[in-house]
Chains A and B, each alone.
Chain A
Amino acid sequence: MPMVLRRCTLSERPAALAPHFDDIAQQSEASHLGMWVFLLTEIMFFGGMFTGYAVYRSVYAVAFAEGSHHLDLVLGSINTVVLISSSLTMVLAVHAAQVGQRQLLVGFLLLTMLLGLVFLGLKTVEYTHKFADHLVPGSGFLYAGPHARQVQLFFSFYFGMTGMHALHMIIGIGLLTVLVWLAWRNRFSPMYYTPIEIVGLYWHFVDIVWIFLFPLLYLIGRH
């Protein structure tokens, strides 16, 4: 989405401009670059887990496919749609901020949060099922079958990766809460809505991680 920045008409420094920046454009550029660099670190962080998963999946292909079959494809698919929709509402929130529509902005932010909470809710349901089925790694893990150890390894990665993803969702919802509060207090305008944009970037990233997680975990061997 192209950045629309109206030139500031005030002659003094706007309230939103931090003292160490020369102008809003520089501040905005710095904020955006900062978020991109942060997302780069997140790619490396998740990348380490993806690497471990890839290594063990290639070594224990049969067991990992078996483990994958125990995942709830329906709930996973619904969650995928929910998250993609939440990215859409996030984009609409950014646009509302661009055109100065405060109520739309707050509305779309709340909708994004709601969808995020739905995602977490469904995730909780999934985790509960796994717990009931004794598929949580650790002392309570019980699995009948020749590949029990490797299936436990699969679930370790499942919980580790989706858990880390869920943690990032929770943080994202926290950030959105702050944005809702600030938007309600009229802190944003067509001249300054950078925080909405950069939280949007973060939210899209968390969405994309799920887009990778879902097929890698849920869709192995389901031809």
Chain B
Amino acid sequence: MLSDLPLFPEQASTGAARVDALFMFLLAVSVFFAMLIFSLVLYFAVKYRRRSEAEQPRPILGDVRLELLWTVIPLGLTMIMFVWGANLYFTMASPPADAMEIAVVGKQWMWKFQHPEGQREINELHIPVGRPVKLTMASEDVIHSFFVPAFRVKMDVVPGQYTATWFEATRPGTFHLFCAQYCGTAHAGMGGRVVVLTPTAYETWLSGGATGESPVAAGARLFQQLGCATCHRADGPGSGPSLVGLFGQTVRLHSGETVRADEAYIRESVMYPTAKIVAGYQPIMPTFQGLISEEGLLQLIAYIRSLGGGKTGTPS
């Protein structure tokens, strides 16, 4: 059984080795100070053990230089840990612009994935090795958390908003996917696998099996079905602003504020249209809450993005 005893997780992403490096630094510092304290305490406890009841040790009240020493050194070390960790964390929050975008919806108690080419998966995510993958994630009910230990990646999935994370797999294999935020009865079972394939194997996987609609096509279909095209015309402004070239641009609102037209803005406009009124338009857009699912919203967003516009940028 001991041969089955894993002690350290495998590294399967570009970020994993970097996280492990910081971890090793933390470990080294911790082992050093723990050993220092343990050996000092043990040494003093033995060397200065009470040999007679009459012993009266002289008081040593303190030493400011020592205090400064053991304040400044830990402070310096922790600041290194902070800067190193913050730097890496910032990178983890900045997906590359050319990342492959996958939409994720978490719900009690399963994960749903949609590839840009149309593939849909449940509890299993196939990705190619060596390409950055960005996940845009939504929850249909409670807070979940997308966790792949081998990638050292984790991000909560929060209802009412989008969260994002990204990774680049470095070797083929199958890796655990866990839900890492307690979400109810079957929380422990809300897991699955991330299957990393070589680029050729990935292409094969993409082309085999039922492809289904791409998110852009599905979004276009929803755009017609839900009647969006009536007000948001492709040929210019109508009752509502045109959405062509909108994505990523700055929008001026009725209140004078400006806002960036990103995923969150579009989602809010569909669900709570009166929250932000574009300057020059009336607050007449009805809400689609209850008429469209989280997956549908993500597909609509994919469609609107395909109408042109700026880059997605990093989530804040």
How far, in Å, is A151 (CB) from chain B's closest CB? 11
Q: Verify if B189 is at the interface (C-beta below 8 Å from A).
A: no
Q: Verify if B11 is at the interface (C-beta below 8 Å from A).
A: no
Collect the chain B residues with CB atoms within 8 Å of residue A149's CB: 272
Interface set of A (CB-CB < 8 Å, partner B): 60-62, 146-147, 149
Q: Verify if B274 is at the interface (C-beta below 8 Å from A).
A: yes
Collect the chain A residues with CB atoms within 8 Å of residue B283's CB: 146
How many chain B residues touch the partner (CB < 8 A)? 6
Report the 8 A-B pairs with minimum CB-CB distance, sorted nearest first: A146-B274, A146-B283, A147-B274, A62-B255, A60-B275, A149-B272, A146-B273, A61-B255
Docked pose: A21 CA to B275 CA in angstroms: 60
* Nearest residue, chain B, Cβ from A148: B274
Collect the chain B residues with CB atoms within 8 Å of residue A146's CB: 273-274, 283
Cβ < 8 Å to A, chain B residues 180-212: none
Cβ < 8 Å to A, chain B residues 239-295: 255, 272-275, 283
Docked pose: A146 CA to B285 CA in angstroms: 10
* Nearest residue, chain B, Cβ from A146: B274
Collect the chain A residues with CB atoms within 8 Å of residue B274's CB: 146-147
Docked pose: A125 CA to B166 CA in angstroms: 56
Docked pose: A145 CA to B283 CA in angstroms: 11
Cβ < 8 Å to A, chain B residues 214-237: none
Collect the chain A residues with CB atoms within 8 Å of residue B255's CB: 61-62
How far, in Å, is A65 (CB) from chain B's closest CB? 11
Docked pose: A100 CA to B283 CA in angstroms: 66
8 residue pairs A–B, Cβ–Cβ below 8 Å: A60-B275, A61-B255, A62-B255, A146-B273, A146-B274, A146-B283, A147-B274, A149-B272
How far, in Å, is A7 (CB) from chain B's closest CB? 41
How far, in Å, is A126 (CB) from chain B's closest CB? 28
Docked pose: A147 CA to B274 CA in angstroms: 7
Docked pose: A61 CA to B274 CA in angstroms: 12
* Nearest residue, chain A, Cβ from B276: A62
Collect the chain A residues with CB atoms within 8 Å of residue B273's CB: 146
* Nearest residue, chain B, Cβ from A147: B274
How far, in Å, is A60 (CB) from chain B's closest CB? 8
Collect the chain A residues with CB atoms within 8 Å of residue B275's CB: 60
How far, in Å, is A221 (CB) from chain B's closest CB? 12
Docked pose: A60 CA to B272 CA in angstroms: 11
How far, in Å, is A147 (CB) from chain B's closest CB? 6
* Nearest residue, chain B, Cβ from A145: B274
Docked pose: A149 CA to B283 CA in angstroms: 16
Known: A60-B275, A147-B274. 6 other contacts (CB 8 A): A61-B255, A62-B255, A146-B273, A146-B274, A146-B283, A149-B272
Docked pose: A149 CA to B274 CA in angstroms: 11
Docked pose: A146 CA to B284 CA in angstroms: 9
* Nearest residue, chain A, Cβ from B285: A146
Collect the chain B residues with CB atoms within 8 Å of residue A61's CB: 255
Collect the chain B residues with CB atoms within 8 Å of residue A60's CB: 275
How far, in Å, is A66 (CB) from chain B's closest CB? 11
Collect the chain B residues with CB atoms within 8 Å of residue A62's CB: 255
Docked pose: A207 CA to B189 CA in angstroms: 53
Q: Which of B272, B274, B283: most chain A CB closer than 10 A?
A: B274
* Nearest residue, chain A, Cβ from B257: A61
Docked pose: A60 CA to B274 CA in angstroms: 10
Docked pose: A43 CA to B274 CA in angstroms: 35
Collect the chain B residues with CB atoms within 8 Å of residue A147's CB: 274
Docked pose: A102 CA to B273 CA in angstroms: 64
Docked pose: A60 CA to B275 CA in angstroms: 8
How far, in Å, is A63 (CB) from chain B's closest CB? 9
Q: Which of A61, A62, A146, A147: most chain B CB closer than 10 A?
A: A146
Docked pose: A49 CA to B273 CA in angstroms: 28
Collect the chain A residues with CB atoms within 8 Å of residue B272's CB: 149
Docked pose: A61 CA to B272 CA in angstroms: 14
Docked pose: A155 CA to B283 CA in angstroms: 23
* Nearest residue, chain B, Cβ from A149: B272
Binary A-proximity of B31-63 (CB < 8 A = 1, otherwise 0): 000000000000000000000000000000000
Docked pose: A143 CA to B299 CA in angstroms: 33
Docked pose: A51 CA to B116 CA in angstroms: 41
Cβ < 8 Å to A, chain B residues 93-111: none
Docked pose: A62 CA to B255 CA in angstroms: 9
How far, in Å, is A48 (CB) from chain B's closest CB? 21
* Nearest residue, chain B, Cβ from A62: B255
